[in-house]
Structure 1
Amino acid sequence: AALVGLGGRTVATAPGCMTVPADPAHVIDAVVEAGAQLLRETGRRCVGAGLAVPSAVAEPEGTALNPLHVAWPAGAPVRELFNRSLAAAGIRGEDGEPVTGFAGNDVNLAALAEHRHGAGGGAQHLLCVATGHRGVGGALVLDGRLHTGSAGLALEVGHLTVNPEGPPCHCGSRGCLDIEADPLAFLTAAGRDPGPEVSLLQQARDLLREKYATEPSVRAATGQLIDRLGLGLAGLVNILNPDRIILGGLHRELLEADPERLRAVVAERSLWGRSGGVPILPCTLDHNSLVGAAELAWQPVLDDPLAALGVG
């Protein structure tokens, strides 16, 4: 959880880790309580709240359509649960009414934040691809606006096939980017058994940073994931023709480990890459999904500041 001011400025954060139960209300309640505690500790007032969800969020319903890596049921009403939790926690605006809660896909929100305040600034057609604890997500910002498709479900890039002979994916296909280029894939390729102590993302990051220079198995795993990721990015470049690509989560570390290899794969496999190359950059914002969630909550204030703040 985080408190985020105008301009993407993070005021305070509350790190947390918990086992995710099948009922999303338990996680959402915990997140809201962490946010409420930050408000109490800092004395700040809240004008809105945003929730970053590890799933496509269908619009206009605000439901989690495909939470493949958590045990939530498909179609869980995450926005409704979020607003209910905000009201129960007593998080209210200047008018005494509960603040409005918004919800969006976590990678979509990361892309929005990076476009406004980070590595995506100035891009007209920005492609963001990232991996967190599990899976791979993508987002596209066109002319300053998220492209979410007709119902909020666009850019499910994790289900591009990059290895037709690969293992089965949760979606029913095989060899998808989702299971070929996430932290678990990296740990497995490097011959490591993941432990339960910290997130898979943190385990993969630690292994890459500490052992890349000294262990051939880690370098080989890095090369394998870069090649898989590059294939996926090349396909996206051919379809979308972005003017910039930004990478988050473990993908940011893979880019930094061997930037020329990734760029070479994308250039070799894409028409647009051959014609001059597409800049591929690391995301630069800490907690970019949370910053993006805050951007959703700030938008009514930016659209009509006096009305949103109860002035006039």
Structure 2
Amino acid sequence: MADKMRAAWAHYPEEIQGFLQGADIAVVKQKTRSVVLRLDRREESVFLKVTPKGQMREEARMTEYLSRRGACPRVILYRSDGTGDYLITSRVAGSDAAAEACLRYPERLTDAFAEGLSALHDVDPEGCPVVNGLAEMASRADRNYREGRADRSLLLYMGYADADTAYRDLIAMYETCEDRTDQVVIHGDYCLPNVIVRDFKVQGYIDVGYGGVGDRHYDLFWGLWSLRYNLRSDFDRIADRFLETYGRAKADKDRIRFCGLISVFNGFRGQDYYNGPL
């Protein structure tokens, strides 16, 4: 199996091969859209993420930007060639917040998760290299709707039986919500596996490729979605605790719902993934 996996990595660029040589390699994730490897080397442990070509440019830019503010791993190397994108980052000490050891303590986890999001949204957006606001998201959602794409699981999560009704509600809410959009640095995929914690303190964030200057309610929607998905029980109490810890005065339920409707058509957590025709 090890030889087979190494053969699959043989086409990686020479610079990437240099990190693979002599490293103990563990497969963290292996899916069609991305592969993540942990490379344990004598001097340090690093992570290598590989995606199809053109899919990680924004992630590299956002990771570099946030790493300078102590919020993300350090970017060691980013390369793109004819077949793929390659990003090597430092390791942040801790475990992802979806680890079983964290899920056993839902209240402490919820508090840490909310505090981590509040801290991220307090980052000064000056110099942020990416804009990913509601206007940009709504434009993409509109295009996807007209192409017949919507995520079935999110439709059901939002309480809809069909995409047309959800789209009409999206349009009806757009003007009011877009006019009051705020300007914070968002993660863009704020889910428990993308938050690194240690002793229930957030140490950093990963997979920030859908981040940028945007509206905090997009992260709030996905944070609540993740708590429901990962904890699965007593959600109303947990959701209330999450919003209270984050700062209820900063959260607008209508805008959270609006961001959920955007997500129905914007791809699953910002990715072009749709689970079957409607």
Q: Same fold (TM over 0.5)?
A: no
Normalising by the smaller structure, the TM-score range is under 0.3
| TM-score, normalised by the number of residues in structure 2 | 0.26
The TM-score normalised by the length of structure 1 is 0.24
